[in-house]
Amino acid sequence: MSKTLINIKRIYEKPSGEDGYRMLVDKLWPRGVKKEEAHIDEWNKEVPPSTDLRKWFDHKPENFEKFCKLYEKELALKKDELKRIKSIARKSGVTLLYGAKDPHINHAVVLLKVLQHLK
């Protein structure tokens, strides 16, 4: 079985040849990023957290642990989409792009973990 390569990266970072398939995984388009300069292959609006969950979390560190559990429950209902992302990753690698400022406390971290453990 081939190794699945999935990474996360802020959309504000420069694209790299190592990014593979670039997938924006935010529900809202990131501020200050021009669509023609984003170099994305896909804007996936299926896998970001629900609007209610995103607003509740509000990128507050004290909410992150509970956010992770709630977001994982949401993702559990999207197995087909998660499998599709893994399939792309097997072919070309995938970089999940997000707009959040904190590289450790954001939904892309949770999504990456879920994808890495998906069978």
pTM above 0.85, yes or no: yes
Domain count of the fold of the chain: 1
**How open is the CA angle 96-99-100, to the nearest 5 degrees?**
110
Alpha carbon distance, N-terminus to C-terminus of the chain: 12
Q: Summarize pLDDT for 45-61 with one digit per residue, the tens.
A: 999 999 999 999 999 99
Residue 1 lies in a domain: no
d(CA 85, CA 62): 30
Residue 73 lies in a domain: yes
Supply the range of the domain harboring residue 51: 6-117
Residue 95 lies in a domain: yes
Q: Summarize pLDDT for 97-106 with one digit per residue, the tens.
A: 999 999 999 9
Does 1 score more than 60 pLDDT?
no
